[in-house]
């Protein structure tokens, strides 16, 4: 340690639990190694995918010599914001028609959540947010650092590897009136377990009766089922009753724009006047944080969403990604069944979205990494997008060995 440094007392921070998996994977020299930790889509060949429609939109933007690199407004690209709201709330949403929605472009899902959290910490009367147990690892830090008090509500039942619906209703029922509740719009991360439409309706009734404020995290619209409208159903249900809510959107997964950091925060208000005042305060959150958002990714999204042909091309490519993941679920389930691996593995095909919560414990995960060079988060979450027909047999063998040899 160099005691001459003013930073000599800094302690080394632990690796991020999710990103650390990739760091460990990269250090492994085994030809059989498999990374199932990363939350990014991969082709059957295990390669990152840039959508054809995204390449086409980028080409159009590059060829347009009238485009400049000037700063965007604080709230971002106007077209992008308008089209993003339409995508999540529906083109015929009364909230949009009545100008009750304010949408601001943010730095992907993380940035949208953070801007929303900072806004609530400054202007909302209840500073407690309830998040599902488990949830994406970054949620706790995002809301905590913004100044909110973070509490958990029951969500996943390890015994059934499904939803603990009773526990969820009890915990939200016991939450103080006015509390904020984080809801995954679809494809819950990390479990892949979503409420049914009927269950969503019960959640909505309970939350509205108690005056709980919904904050949706929508990271997988269209990517879960392959249908953009179906995957926004939960959000639209809450907007249809005329109540208020927040929604964070990310285009990382559904347009494959991970590194472009493209997202949006929408706040649905009771009146147009309130929405306009809310927007004025969102600007005061954003300006000292990063001034204004980047132009490139948002321009790609706006180009695709406003052109009918490109939009249709996108939905076809999006469905192909969703279908490949669904097919990987089926292949893994079939493979484990054929192998006679002990236990019920039907949760693999019941869960939805990028991730499967396998039910494997920390020891079993460590065993699979050490003996089979398979990398995943220690909670047993695997990214189905990292699998291919070629690697399913290897994963099956590893799971079989872990279940039969490790307690």
| Domains of the chain (ranges, CATH numbers) | 18-49+322-405 (3.90.1150.10), 71-306 (3.40.640.10)
Q: What is the pLDDT of residues 140-165, one digit of tens each?
A: 999 999 999 999 999 999 999 999 99
Distance CA 383, CA 375 (A): 10
| Total-model pTM | 0.95
Average pLDDT over residues 41-56: 95
Q: What's the helix, strand, coil split of the chain in %, to 5?
A: 50, 15, 40
Average pLDDT over residues 245-255: 98
3 state DSSP class of 213: strand
Structural element, H or E, at residue 93 = none
- Of residues 271, 239, 134, the one with CA closest to residue 191: 134
**Got the DSSP string for 8-36?**
TTPPPPPPPTTHHHHHHHHH---TT-EE-
- Of residues 267, 257, 292, 284, the one with CA closest to residue 77: 292
Average pLDDT over residues 210-236: 98
Q: pLDDT band at 39, cuts 50/70/90?
A: confident
Distance CA 364, CA 346 (A): 19
CA distances from 150 to 79, 144, 168, 245 (A): 34, 6, 16, 18
CA distances from 352 to 123, 192, 279, 385 (A): 35, 5, 34, 12
Q: pLDDT band at 15, cuts 50/70/90?
A: confident
CA angle 234, 235, 237 (to 5 degrees): 65
Distance CA 192, CA 326 (A): 12
Average pLDDT over residues 202-228: 98
Distance CA 216, CA 287 (A): 23
248 forms beta bridges with: 217, 265
* E strands in 68-145: 101-107, 128-133
User: Which positions are annotated as active-site residues?
Assistant: 136, 217, 253
Q: Is the pLDDT of residue 3 over 80?
A: no
């Amino acid at each position: 340690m160099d005691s001459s440094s003013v930073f000599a007392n800094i302690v080394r921070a632990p690796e991020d639990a999710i990103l650390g998996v990739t760091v460990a994977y990269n250090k492994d020299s085994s030809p059989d190694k498999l990374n199932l930790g990363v939350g990014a889509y991969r082709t059957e060949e295990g390669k990152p995918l840039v959508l054809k429609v995204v390449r086409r939109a980028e080409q159009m933007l590059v060829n347009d010599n009238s485009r400049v690199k000037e700063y965007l407004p604080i709230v971002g690209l106007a077209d992008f914001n308008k089209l993003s709201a339409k995508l999540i709330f529906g083109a015929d949403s009364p909230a949009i028609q009545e100008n009750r929605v304010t949408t601001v472009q943010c730095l992907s899902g993380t940035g949208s959540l953070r801007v929303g959290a900072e806004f609530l910490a400054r202007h909302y009367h209840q500073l407690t947010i309830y998040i599902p147990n488990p949830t994406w690892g970054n949620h706790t830090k995002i809301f905590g650092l913004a100044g909110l008090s973070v509490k958990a509500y029951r969500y996943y039942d390890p015994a059934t590897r499904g939803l603990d619906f009773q526990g969820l209703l009890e915990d939200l029922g016991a939450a103080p009136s006015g509390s904020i509740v984080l809801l995954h719009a679809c494809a819950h991360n990390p479990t892949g377990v979503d409420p049914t439409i009927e269950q969503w309706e019960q959640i909505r009734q309970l939350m509205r009766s108690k005056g709980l404020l919904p904050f949706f995290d929508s990271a997988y619209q269209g990517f879960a089922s392959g249908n953009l409208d179906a995957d926004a159903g939960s959000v639209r249900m809450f907007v249809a009753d005329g109540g208020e809510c927040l929604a964070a959107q990310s285009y990382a997964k559904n347009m494959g724009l991970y590194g472009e950091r493209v997202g949006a925060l929408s706040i649905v208000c009771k009146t147009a006047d309130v929405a306009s005042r809310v927007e004025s305060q969102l600007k005061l959150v954003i300006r000292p944080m990063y001034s204004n958002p980047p132009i490139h990714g948002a321009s790609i999204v706006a180009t695709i969403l406003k052109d009918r042909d490109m939009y249709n091309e996108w939905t076809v490519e999006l469905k192909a990604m969703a279908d490949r993941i669904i097919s990987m679920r089926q292949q893994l389930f079939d493979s484990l069944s054929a192998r006679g691996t002990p236990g019920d593995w039907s949760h693999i095909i019941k869960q939805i979205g990028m991730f499967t919560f396998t039910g494997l414990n920390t020891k079993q995960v460590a065993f699979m990494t050490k003996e089979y060079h398979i990398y995943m988060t220690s909670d047993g979450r695997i990214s189905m997008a990292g699998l291919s027909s070629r690697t399913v047999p290897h994963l099956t063998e590893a799971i079989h060995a872990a279940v039969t040899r490790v307690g």
